[in-house]
Amino acid sequence: MEAFQTIILPIVFIATLTRSTFGFGDAMVGMPLLSVAVGLSVATPLVGLMGITASATILIKHWRDVHFKSVGLLIIYTLIGIPIGILLLKRMNENAMKSVLSFVIIAFSLYRIFKPRLFNLAGDKSACVFGFFAGMLGAAYNTNGPPVVIYGTLRGWDPEKFRATLQGYFFPTGSMIALGHCAGGLWTKTVLLNYLISLPVILIAILLGGRLNRRIPRAKFDNYVYVFLIVLGVCLLIDTTRSVL
């Protein structure tokens, strides 16, 4: 129990704080560290439960900030993109595609940081494209987040709407993944016990993250998100390089 409190709970707190502050990023922070601490079979379903808890808690209070039309289109076209992603996984070289995805994320984020006023998306129709790529990349490489995050930044939403709308997308998709974990037997006693012990820490991190989200200046929020995306792209590239070596 002492090891759990000193190692796992801080990881859970930081990962959930990241998700609550920016609307995403908990898996990027939590999965590598928790996989080392408790193993992949525990880390994967635990992070899934953390994610849907964060999404549900945020939505209960901030559902009015959700851009429901965008969420609906993103989810519908995510489902359409999934079969293409499965086909892509079978036909394309995984490491090559992950490398391309990493460079695209990094290049786009750097471009937006240095050219922040170049363009924004005014309407909802583009959600179809980003949702499709989210489904395709999610099915092929379990990376459905970046297209949705990029879409949110290009809409120019304020931090609260950005955060809430992302939860509107991640809650149903995360719930389906969590149910898959349950059906696959990944919800073991160890996982559920770890989750229950972590729950107070998760809720505190969600509350604190909400306050941090409201304090971030609108002018700086997008740049923070793009820096996070760059880190995500670098981590994905490192993971791809390791699998090749």
Over residues 16-46, the pLDDT tens digits come to 999 999 998 888 888 888 888 888 888 889 9
Domain-wise residue ranges, the chain? 2-244
Q: Model's pTM, two decimal places? A: 0.86
In whole angstroms, what is the distance from residue 220 CA to residue 22 CA?
12
In whole angstroms, what is the distance from residue 159 CA to residue 77 CA?
24
In whole angstroms, what is the distance from residue 39 CA to residue 22 CA?
26
pLDDT at 4: 60
pLDDT at 119: 67
In order, the DSSP letters of the chain are -HHIIIIIHHHHHHHHHHHHHHS--HHHHHHHHHHHHH-HHHHHHHHHHHHHHHHHHHHHHHGGG--HHHHHHHHHHHHHHHHHHHHHHHHS-HHHHHHHHHHHHHHHHHHHHHSTTS----SSTTHHHHHHHHHHHHHHHS--HHHHHHHHHHTT--HHHHHHHHHHHHHHHHHHHHHHHHHTT---HHHHHHHHHHHHHHHHHHHHHHHHHHHS-HHHHHHHHHHHHHHHHHHHHHHHHHHH-
Nearest CA to 179 out of 76, 48, 85, 19 is that of 48
Tokens of 105: 């994320």
In angstroms and rounded to an integer, the radius of gyration of the C-alpha atoms of the chain is: 17
Single-letter residue type at 8: I
In whole angstroms, what is the distance from residue 110 CA to residue 99 CA?
17
pLDDT at 222: 85
Over residues 182-209, the pLDDT tens digits come to 988 989 999 999 999 999 999 999 999 9
Residues with pLDDT less than 70, the chain: 1-5, 116-119, 141-142, 244-245
